[in-house]
Chain A
Amino acid sequence: MSGSFRHDDPSCFLDLPARIFFPFLVRSDPSGRRSLQLPETVFPRASFDQFGDLRSPFFRGSSSGPTIRLVALSALHRLVGTASLDFILPAFRADARASLCRQRIFDFSVENTRKELPPFRREEGVKAFFFFLFFLPFVCRAQEAKTSPFLQQKNHLQFSKTKSDNSKALVLVRSSCLQNGGSALPSWLRGKKNISGMSAQVLHFSLEDVSEKEILLAQANPCLLGFENDRVIEVAGLGAAVPNDPMYKDQVFYPFIHLPEYLAVFSSPLFKEDLKEKTVVAVVDSGISRAHPEFLGKFWGDENGRIGYNFIDGNANIEDGLGHGSHVAGLITADSGNGIGVVGVSQAVKLMVLKTQGDDGKGSVGDVANAIRYAADHGADVINLSLSIAGEPVTLKDAVEYALEKGCVVIAASGNNGKEISTGEDFIAPAGWSVSHPGLISVGSLDSENGELSSFSNYSASFVEIAAPGSHGMTTHILSTYKNERYFALAGTSMSTPQVAGAAAQAIAFFKSKGISYTPAEVENLILTTATPSVKLQSSIQNGRQLNLENLARFLLKTYQLTSEGGLNE
């Protein structure tokens, strides 16, 4: 039972005592593979395989090889207390139990009993469960000092005095021994402060001040209940939480527009409940993957319960057969903090889905114009147009002007022809109209790997007002949601545009929530003035602007939310 050992027999698992007291903890499948099963009534859905991940709302962690790492056994800890942990899991070695009781993060080894465990029998389980329940209160009331793993094996020190190793150590001391200046203690522990109201307390000391022999001698002292090396318990991290969406880290373009810092500002308690209003963003595109979990609860709805309209077929079927619209919508508002997938720029969004593009990506100007008018008439605050056309179709221009008059902010892609936008034949609509239409923002694509204009992006120091990431190197593109509830990486000014739309949506949600009136021109001005000028984009984008979400957040903070920052940043 003592000493650490290496385990390479996959059949080994818990010791026999564990099965006696809590036999239904251990099960074996026909292949002889062991797993831990906890009763549903006590720990719902708690089970873990010897080599698999723990799957339970109470248990999180994973095992690998002989070491099983349990992270946050706190639920169990709370339910049964420190003492009963020893009781439930008597098979674990004493040093593992020491970790168990003292911390909620621990590693422990398991015994290799090489015993054949009989298959699980329900009667035995029920009997043992009631047996356990009967004894639980007694065990829980047991004095901590009596059940302390320290007592079962007093010295857990790894003795090392080198600076690179941990030279700080802990000793558990009976509080009564700390009275009278700690005269009952070894000289190197005297003079430590006594925290009143505790039966025993942990003291710190340095191994550099004490010899190994002195430690060995001290073990005979009844005042000292045990020794162990000190370790650093780390907090989860400072500042605002990083989204727990696993593919967020693969959205490598976001740091370029300072999305992490922007998220940190908006997750401050300062903004708590301040973004209760949502911005309606109309996505005029190829539809959306309606069942995608990233869009759960994120749809706008009309009086008939429709979340948009299909202008191609003239019905309410807005399912995305191309993936483009789903991708764009995900960049605007894919659910953040839901533990899956990716993150969108703004969470304060309701999506209005207007399908104008077919499965081949093509659509008619008339449908797009109708969609823009529909959005304006149905209360959209922002219209995302990740589409472009050469020339200046009057129908489209009228629709855009109509939307701007109705108070919509319109965001339009500059297009992917890799050419300079100009008047005449080289004009690209609707992006090109941005110069003469306040509230309409034209967006080019930059490569977030090097900050330069993406090779495919249309450009103009006059007609393209801002750039956002639409590519990342030659192989990594912009990751977002996709059709059929999937995720996919795409490149293009279509991907840049929704990032700006998300920024506009966030600003508008803020204004609406705070009761601040705004015009589309003011929103455009806000996004353009908080952008970062880039030398690399100077000749291709108006004033070399690239989207900067952090600046946007801090501007809102300083102008409308914080009263002052004390002149500290002058």
Chain B
Amino acid sequence: MNDLKTRSKIKRISFCLSLLFFLTTLPTCAKNFEVDGSIGSSGPLFRESASSSFIPESDQVLSDCALRDGVCLYFKNPVFQAGEVVAPFEEEKLKSLQSFRAQLTGLDQSGFVKNSFLNVQSVSQGPLKLSEALKTHGIDSHQQMALSLNAYYWLNRAHEYLNKNFKDVFSFEKPVDVYVDDAFDGWSLEKKALYLSASKKSALSADVLLILWAEAQMGFATEGKINQPSSFHHAACGDDPVGCCKDKTGCSQALLHGSADALHALLFEDAPEVGAFYHQSLSGQSICGKKARSPEAFKDLSFQQAYDLCPEKPGSTVAMGMAYAAVWWKASHQASDPKKVLKVFLKSLPQMTGEDTFSSASTKIIETCKTLGFPELIPLF
């Protein structure tokens, strides 16, 4: 009897201990699951094995990041990761958010944050010594290391992922210099470089990095032809002589912006908004104060509606670009094999020129579907 009582007691204690263990570990598990399972790796484009996915399963937000191997970065961008607005000057808050534990891959043996296709450096500090960054997990009060390592990680991830899976349709081998603390954001065809604003801490945003990198890649791939916009299809607006498309048929600058948005959305499929940290808004950049910069938000908008979206700036190349990106977004969701859509997308990129419109681009895309042997995709365009 006593034996039974003791066994029952042990059972109850074991149960309580198990319950206690379960309850104490639950928040951690939930946090990991939430981040790990929600973004990037779960969309239809990422059904392949973890090793070839855009974000490896081992890279995730961990509260004890600083105690782990690797570096501590931001998942997509600080605002997205925090789920609330964080300003670039909030150093302490940014530092506490720096918990996306990631492994840097593909580095060369130089001892700096670079490899043969990415050379990440600081305008004020020059190349960043990798040993210093690894020693501190990339955490520093002024975010200098975080800027560099974040830029390297996300651009390298995109490069490695696309090169591994789509090398047969597009080459990403053009080397790019990346300046993480410059006075502005942009990319230069002539200098083969990306520039990220120090004051906005743009290099902490994977979305901004990918948008600029994707545009640059398109510029390099077309040997600058996409950047010679024809005056026939473009109109001046604001201080930009080619800031708007002339009509709803689109223009090459819209193709340029839209292609970058499309690539970003295809990589960050479950979080396609651009500019959450950059524009200090959870929903990302808005266009003409109306819609988030997300192909998903534009998926039901016609080209004419996109043209009319900004009454004071009809034909805005960014708005028109979103409509173009939405075409790809819809195609990837309607296709039985989304990877084929990405192949068509990448294969068609170098064919675009400054003379192209949405309709001529469509013709080229359809031709690409035929060339690649994907006739089933033609109805999507």
Q: Enumerate chain A interface residues (CB-CB to B < 8 A).
A: 191-193, 195, 202, 204, 232-241, 261, 264-265, 267-270, 529, 554-555, 557-559, 561-570
Contact = CB atoms under 8 A, between A and B. Distances in A.
Interface string B222-246: 0010010000000000011100000
Contacts of B144: 235, 238
A239 B67 contact: no
Contact of A570 (B184, B191, B212, B285): B285
Interface string B40-69: 000000000000000000000000001111
Interface in B240-283: 240-241, 256-257, 260, 274-275, 278
Contacts, number: 132
A268 B142 contact: no
A567 B187 contact: no
B157 to A, nearest CB: 18
Contact of B227 (A270, A529, A558, A563): A563
A565 B185 contact: yes
Given A238-B143, A561-B190, A563-B189, 4 more contacts: A195-B134, A240-B183, A269-B195, A568-B211
A265 to B, nearest CB: 5
B182 interface: yes
Contact of A235 (B140, B195, B219, B316): B140
A564 B124 contact: no
B67 A193 contact: yes
A239 to B, nearest CB: 4
B349 interface: no
Nearest to B202: A568
A563 B219 CA distance: 8
Contacts of A239: 123-124, 181-183, 198-199
A269 B318 contact: no
Contact of B124 (A193, A236, A562): A236
B163 interface: no
Nearest to B210: A566
A568 B183 contact: no
Considering the complex of A and B, which 3 residue pairs feature the smallest CB-CB distances, nearest first? A239-B198, A264-B183, A562-B186
B296 interface: no
Contact of B183 (A233, A268, A564, A569): A268
A562 B195 contact: yes
A269 B193 contact: yes
Interface residues of B, number: 55
B115 interface: no
A240 B189 contact: no
Given A240-B124, A265-B183, A270 B193 contact: yes
B212 A566 contact: yes
B308 interface: no
7 contacts: A241-B124, A558-B186, A562-B184, A563-B227, A567-B293, A568-B278, A570-B287
B185 A566 contact: yes
Interface in B134-165: 134-135, 140-144
Contacts of B285: 568, 570
Residue of A529, A557, A559, A569 with highest tally of chain B CB at under 10 A: A569
A238 B142 contact: yes
Contacts of A563: 186-190, 215-216, 219, 224, 227
A529 B239 contact: yes
B257 A567 contact: yes
Contacts of A554: 184
Given A240-B124, A565-B186, A566-B212, A235 B142 contact: yes
Nearest to B321: A567
A238 to B, nearest CB: 4
Residue of A240, A268, A557 with highest tally of chain B CB at under 10 A: A268
B177 interface: yes
Residue of A191, A236, A566 with highest tally of chain B CB at under 10 A: A566
Contact of B260 (A238, A240, A566): A566
Given A269-B182, A562-B195, A563-B219, A236 B125 contact: yes
B284 to A, nearest CB: 11
A558 B318 contact: no
Contacts of B211: 566-568
A381 B281 CA distance: 47
A570 B317 CA distance: 9
B124 to A, nearest CB: 6
A566 B208 contact: yes
B179 interface: yes
B309 to A, nearest CB: 11
Contacts of A564: 186-187, 212, 215, 219, 227, 256-257
A570 B253 CA distance: 13
Nearest to B68: A193
A202 B184 CA distance: 37
Contacts of B208: 566, 568
Contacts of A558: 186, 239-240
A57 B130 CA distance: 28
B141 A232 contact: yes
Contacts of B191: 269-270
Nearest to B285: A568
Contacts of B318: 567, 570
B186 A192 contact: no
Residue of A202, A234, A269, A568 with highest tally of chain B CB at under 10 A: A568
Contacts of A559: 241
Nearest to A263: B183
B141 A566 contact: no
A340 B311 CA distance: 52
A452 to B, nearest CB: 27
Contacts of A235: 124-125, 140, 142, 144
A563 B274 CA distance: 19
Nearest to B310: A570
Nearest to A264: B183
A193 B136 CA distance: 12
Contacts of B275: 568
B135 A195 contact: yes
A236 B123 CA distance: 12
A236 B293 CA distance: 36
Given A564-B227, A566-B215, A570-B318, A234 B184 contact: no
Nearest to B136: A204
Residue of B186, B191, B211, B318 with highest tally of chain A CB at under 10 A: B186
Contacts of B198: 238-239
Contacts of A261: 183
Contacts of A566: 185-187, 208, 211-212, 215, 257, 260
Contacts of A193: 67-69
B292 to A, nearest CB: 13
A384 B241 CA distance: 31
Nearest to A266: B183
Contacts of A192: 67
A270 to B, nearest CB: 6
Contacts of A233: 140
A144 B287 CA distance: 59
A265 B184 contact: yes
A316 B177 CA distance: 49
A557 B191 CA distance: 13
Contacts of B184: 265, 268, 554, 557, 562, 565
A192 B188 CA distance: 43
A275 to B, nearest CB: 14
A341 to B, nearest CB: 23
Contacts of A241: 124
Contacts of B125: 235-236
Contacts of B321: 567
Nearest to B318: A567
A557 B186 contact: yes
Nearest to A260: B183
Contacts of B177: 269
Nearest to A268: B182
Contacts of B278: 568
A122 to B, nearest CB: 42
B66 A204 contact: yes
A202 B239 CA distance: 54
